[in-house]
A and B are shown apart, each in its own frame.
Chain A
Amino acid sequence: MKLLRIFFSKTGEAAYISHLDLQRVMARALRISGLPVWYSMGFNPHIYMTFGLPLPLLHQSLAEFVDVKTLAEQEDFSAYVAPLNKALPRGIDVSQIAPPKFAADEIVKAKYQLYFEDEPALKKAVDIFNQSENAMVCRKTKRTQQNIDLKTVLLSLDEPKNGTIEFCLPAGAQNHHSPALLLKFFQEHCGLLPEDANIVRLQIYTDLS
C-alpha cells in the first residue's frame, strides 16, 4: 500500500466549504473519479484521507493537499486528475496526484496574500504595524487565551502593492499562527474590517528560510 498526495486549490465559492464539509465533498468526488483509494476496514468503512493544513472558513488557498492510500500497482495517476476535477465543485481544482515528497508534519511555514479593496487604508495599516514597537494581539482558543506579539511571530511582510500584501507565518502541527491574527491587529489598531479582507494561502514550506 502506498500514499498518494492530491494537490488542489480552494478558491472563490469553495472558500465557504468548511473543513468538515470538505472531507465529505472530497470523499464523494473520489468515489466518482474512480481513483482506486483504500477504505478503512472498520464496521463503517470509509476512505482513508489526511488533509495537510486545515484551512479556516472564508480563507482561500492555492496550496492544499490531501493524502489517500491505494493498493494499485501503477506509478502514474495523472489520468484521474480530470475526472476528479469534473466531480469537484467549482473553486476546488486538482493540479496533481503523486506520491508525497514530504510528510505533513514537516510543514513549518506558510505564505499568505492579503487583499483589501481600500488600498490607502491597507497602506496606512501596514505603516502603523511597521512603526509600532510591538504588535500585541490576543489569540483565543476554546479554552485558552494568550497574548502574542506579532512582531516576533511574523516571518516576513512585504510592502503593499495594489492593495495587496504578502507575508509568511509559522505553520504546521508544532507551531501554527493564523493569518487572522494580522487581520485582528489591523481591525483593532487601524479600523480595517476583517470581513472586507481576502486571504489566500499561497504556499507551504518545510524550512523556515
Chain B
Amino acid sequence: MPFFPFLPLKEYIVDSKLKSILARVQKPGRYTGGEPGCIYKDPSKAPLRFAFCFPDTYEVGMSYLGMKILYDILNKMDDVWCERAFMPWIDMADELKKEAYPLYALESKDSLASFDVLGFTLQYELSYTNILAMLGLCGIPTWAKERGENAPLIIAGGPCVCNAEPLADFFDAMLLGEGEEQLPEICRTILQAKKSKLPKFQLLKNLAQIRGVYVPSLYNVTYLPSGQIKEINPTNGAPAKVTKAVLNNFEDFCPTTSFVVPMVGAVHDRAQIEVLRGCLRGCRFCQAGFVYRPMRQRPAQLLNSAAQCLCASTGYEEISLTSLSTSDHSQLEPLLDSLLLWTQNNHINLALPSLRVDNFTQSLAAKVSKVRKSGLTFAPEAGTQRLRDVINKNISDEEIERTCKMAFEAGYTSVKLYFMMGLPTETMEDIKGIADTAQKIVDIFYSTQNRKKGQGLKVGISVACFVPKPSTPFQFCPQDTEETLRQKQAYLLSCVQNKKISVSYHNSKISFLEAVFAKGDRRLAPVIEKAYQSGCRFDGWDDQFLFSVWMDCFKWAGIDPAFYANRQLCQGEVTPWSHLDCGVTEAFLQAEYEKACLAKLTPPCNISCAGCGASALCNKGVCYENPQKQVLGEG
C-alpha cells in the first residue's frame, strides 16, 4: 500500500540548461541558493538590485560574518534586494564559460550583469584575479572606464581597501571602513540618482562626498623618475584625504540575529557574535589591529540576548564569540556565565577563538573546557623575547609557560603555535627561538604532574612569512627575499629535534605576491588583468597558484615586483595609500616603527593611550578611559 498523499511538485530551478550544468559539477549545492534565512523579494518592488560578491568559494564566503551583517542590513531596506554571489570553483566556472551561461546571484538566479550594484569584498590580496574572473563570467568589462552608463556600478569594501590601488582602475568606488551605516547611505544616493536619471559621472561625484567613499577615477597619480609616487591629486571636488567610516554606536548596535545558514559545509558554520571591534594590543605587523581602531566593546547583556536570538533563528549548535582578541573583552567571564546558563541545556557549544596567552585564567579555561575540549591555540608570533618586543607582542616566556602548564593540567594534550618569519630585525637566533619555545612546551608537558595520561602530546608550529602591510608601523619595511625566507625555513627545520613537534610553512612565493599587492599601486592593474587572461585564479590556493605565470606577466608589463615587496620606503615617501585615512596618523606609524627598531614596547590602549589618533573617528570619549577597570567595577 502507498503511504504518501499526493504532493504538488515544486520547481525552483526552472532553467533546464542550468540544471544540466549543475548535474555535471562537484557539490552543486554551492550554486543553488535556497538556504534557510535566504531573502526573496519581488524584483518589481525593489528598485535597487545589489549583489554582494565574495571573490572566493562559497565555503569560504559563507563563513564571513561581514557578509551576514550587510545582507541583513540591506535587506531591511524595502527598496533594496541584496543577493549573494561567489566565485564558482574551477569546474563550475569552466561549465558556465562553455555553456555561455552568465554567472548569477544565488537567490534570483539572475545574471550579475543585470544588477544595479555589484559589491565585492576585498579580504585578501590574492583573490584579485577572482574578481576579474567573476566579471568576465557575466560579460562585464573589467576596466571602469570601459563600462557604459547602464553597466552595474562595481564597488568594493573590506580591509584591503586601505590600499587596493592595484584594483583602482577596475572599480567605480571603494568604501573605506565600516559599512553598517555607510552602505545604506550609498544605496539611498544610488536610488536617488536612478530616479532622477543622473549620469554615472555625477553619481560618482555625489558618492565621493559620503564619508569613507573613495572614487579612484577622481584622483590623478603622478610618478617620479625613480618609480616612486610624486603626487596624488583629487579632482572634481573629491576630498584630498578619504577618511574611513565608523559605526558610531557600535556598543549599542545589536549584532545580527538572522543568518543565511549554509547547507553545504562552510568553513565556519556556527553562530558568530561579534563581541568587540578593533584591538587594543597594537601588534606592529597586524593590519587588522590598526585599521579597525578604535577598540569598542558591546555589553555582556546585549551579547547574551543577541546570541539567544541568533540560536533560536538559525538552530545552530555552536556559538563563536568573535573578535580580534576575545579575551580582551572586559566582561568576558560574566558573559560566559550568562551564556552557559542556557547553552548547556540546549546542547549548544561555546567556541572562543583568538584567546591570548597573557589573560587566559584558570576559571576561563574551566569555562571553555566545560563545553568542549579542543586543542589549544596560541600565537607567540616570534621565538625570542627581543623580537616579540620589536613587534609589540606583549607576552613573555613566563606567560607562555604558565598558560601551557595550566592547560595541560586542565587536560589539554595538543597545542598549536603560530609564528612568523622574516620579521624586521630578525636574526637566525630568533629563528632558533621558535624551535626552543616549542621544545620548552614539550618539556613542560612531561613535567606536569597531573597531565592527562595515556595520550601523547602534539605540538604543532605553523610558520607564516611576514608580509608588510599598509597602515601599519611596518609598512615602511621590506619583505625578506624569497631566498632568505627559504634559508630561514631550512634552518628552523634543522633546529627542531623532537618528534612531538611538527612544523608547517606558508608558501613563500604566495607571501611575496601578497606583499606586492598589499603595497602596490595603480601600475599593477595591467599585470592583474594579464595574469587573469593567462589563467590565474584562486591564487591563494596552493594547488592553483601559478607563480611562473605571474612572473611572466610582471616581465611582460616591464614591472619589477621586488620594487613593491622588497624595498624599504624612504622617509617622507608618498605611499600609494597616502590619500586613504584609516584614522591612525602617519606620524604615529613612523614613531611606532622607530620604537620597534629599538625593541621598545607600547602598552595596550586600555592601560594608556598611545595617541594613534583613531579615537577622533568616534564621537565618544577616548578608548582607554572607556573600558576595563570601570566596567569590571560595575559587574
Question: Complex: how many Å from CA A176 to CA B20?
Answer: 26
B11-68 contacts to A, CB under 8 A, are 11-13, 16, 19-20, 22-24, 28-29, 32-36, 38
Closest-by-CB residue of A relative to B29 is: A16
* Contact of B35 with A29 in the complex, beta carbons under 8 Å: no
Of A7-15, A119-127, A139-147, A153-161, the stretch lying at the interface with chain B is A7-15
Interface flags, A101-128, vs B, CB<8A=1, else 0 = 1100000000100000100000000000
Smallest CB–CB gap between A110 and chain B, Å?
A: 10
Q: How far is the CA of A14 from the CA of B11 in the complex (A)?
A: 10
Q: Which residues of A lie under 8 Å from residue B10 when comparing CB positions?
A: 11-12, 90-91, 93
Chain B interface: which of A56-64, A72-80, A130-138? Answer: A56-64
Q: Could you tell me if A16 and B22 are in contact, using CB atoms closer than 8 angstroms?
A: yes
Rounded to whole angstroms, the CA-CA distance of A194 and B24 in the bound complex is: 10
Indicate whether A29 sits within 8 Å of B347 (C-beta atoms), given known contacts A7-B4, A24-B263.
Answer: no
Contacting residues, chain A, for B22 (C-beta < 8 A):
16, 58
Instruction: Give which listed residue, A29, A58, A196, contacts B16 with CB less than 8 A.
Output: A196
The 8 Å CB contact of A31, one of B3, B32, B315, is B315
Contact of A88 among B7, B23, B36 (CB under 8 A): B36
Q: What 0/1 pattern do residues 16 to 41 of A give for CB contact below 8 A with B?
A: 11100100110111111000000100
Pairwise interchain contact A29-B36, C-beta atoms closer than 8 A:
yes
Question: In the complex, which of the residues B2, B264, B314 contacts A21, with contact meaning CB atoms closer than 8 Å?
Answer: B264
Q: Which residues of B contact A21 (CB under 8 A)?
A: 29, 263-265
Contact of A195 among B23, B261, B315, B317 (CB under 8 A): B23
Give chain A nearest CB distance to B338 CB in angstroms. Answer: 20
* Inter-chain contact A205/B1, CB cutoff 8 Å: yes
Q: Distance in Å from the Cβ of A76 to the closest Cβ of chain B?
A: 18
- Known A-B contacts A91-B12, A91-B34, A195-B20; the reply to A28 vs B3 at CB < 8 A is no
Interface membership of B5, Cβ < 8 A: yes
- Docked complex Cα distance between A27 and B317 (Å): 9
The complex places the Cα of A90 from the Cα of B35 at a distance, in Å, of 7
Q: Are A28 and B315 in contact (CB under 8 A)?
A: yes
Chain A: which residue is nearest B23 at the CB level? A195
| B2 touches which of A25, A46, A89, A203 (Cβ 8 Å) | A203
Q: Is B570 close to A, CB under 8 A?
A: no
Of A39, A101, A196, A200, which contacts B9 at CB under 8 A? A200
User: In the complex the two chains form, is A205's CB within 8 Å of B2's CB?
Assistant: yes
User: Inside 8 A of B608's CB, which chain A residues have their CB?
Assistant: none
List residues of chain B with CB within 8 A of the CB of A70. Answer: none
B313 at the interface (CB under 8 A from A): yes
Chain A residues whose C-beta falls within 8 Å of the C-beta of B317 in the assembled complex: 27-28, 31
- Distance from A121 Cβ to chain B, minimum over Cβ atoms (Å): 14
Residues of A within 8 A of B9 (CB): 11, 60, 62, 200
Assess whether B5 is in contact with A28, with CB atoms less than 8 Å apart.
no
Chain A residue numbers with a CB within 8 Å of B6 are 62
Tell me the minimal C-beta distance from B501 to chain A in angstroms.
Answer: 29
Cβ–Cβ contact A58 & B264, under 8 A: no
CB distance from B606 to the nearest CB of A (A): 37
Question: Do A9 and B7 form a contact, CB below 8 Å, given A90-B12, A90-B34?
Answer: yes
Report the count of interface residues on A (CB-CB < 8 A): 49
**Smallest CB gap from A209: residue in B:** B1
Contact B34 A207 (CB under 8 A): no
A171 on the interface (CB 8 Å rule)? no
Do residues B347 and A13 form an inter-chain contact, with CB atoms below 8 A? no
> Does the CB pair A12–B34 fall under 8 Å?
yes
Chain B residues with CB under 8 A of A198: 19
Report the nearest B residue to A21, measured CB to CB. Answer: B263
In the assembled complex, the Cα of A24 lies from the Cα of B347 at a distance in Å of 14
Q: How far is the CA of A101 from the CA of B10 in the complex (A)?
A: 27
Q: Taking the complex as formed, is B312 at the interface, i.e. its CB lies under 8 A from any CB of chain A?
A: yes
Residue B316 interfacial (CB < 8 Å): yes
Please tell me if the beta carbons of B36 and A87 are within 8 angstroms of each other in the complex.
Answer: yes
Taking CB atoms, residues of chain B closer than 8 Å to A62 are 4, 6-7, 9
Tell me how far the C-beta of A196 lies from the nearest C-beta in chain B, rounded to whole angstroms: 5
Cβ-defined contact, A32 with B13, below 8 A: no
Measured CB to CB, the closest approach of chain A to B528, in angstroms, equals: 33
User: Do the beta carbons of A39 and B347 come within 8 Å of each other?
Assistant: yes
A90 to B28, CA, bound (A): 16
CA–CA, A101 and B317, complex, Å: 31
B369 CB, nearest partner CB in chain A, Å: 13
Complex: A111 Cα to B316 Cα, angstroms: 35
What is the bound-complex CA distance between A189 and B28, given in angstroms? Answer: 27
Contact B20 A193 (CB under 8 A): yes
CA distance A45 to B5 in the complex (A): 34
A204–B4 CB distance below 8 A = yes
A-B contact pairs, 18 of them (CB 8 A): A7-B3, A11-B9, A12-B13, A13-B12, A28-B36, A28-B261, A28-B317, A32-B313, A32-B315, A39-B347, A58-B22, A60-B9, A89-B38, A90-B12, A102-B3, A203-B3, A203-B4, A204-B3
When A and B form their complex, which 7 residue pairs have the shortest distance between CB atoms, in order from nearest? A28-B315, A195-B23, A13-B34, A12-B12, A31-B315, A16-B29, A32-B315
Chain B residues with a Cβ under 8 A of chain A: 1-7, 9-13, 16, 19-20, 22-24, 28-29, 32-36, 38, 261, 263-265, 312-317, 346-347
Which residues of A approach B to under 8 Å, CB–CB?
7, 9, 11-14, 16-18, 21, 24-25, 27-32, 39, 45-46, 57-58, 60, 62-63, 87-91, 93, 95, 101-102, 111, 117, 193-196, 198, 200, 202-207
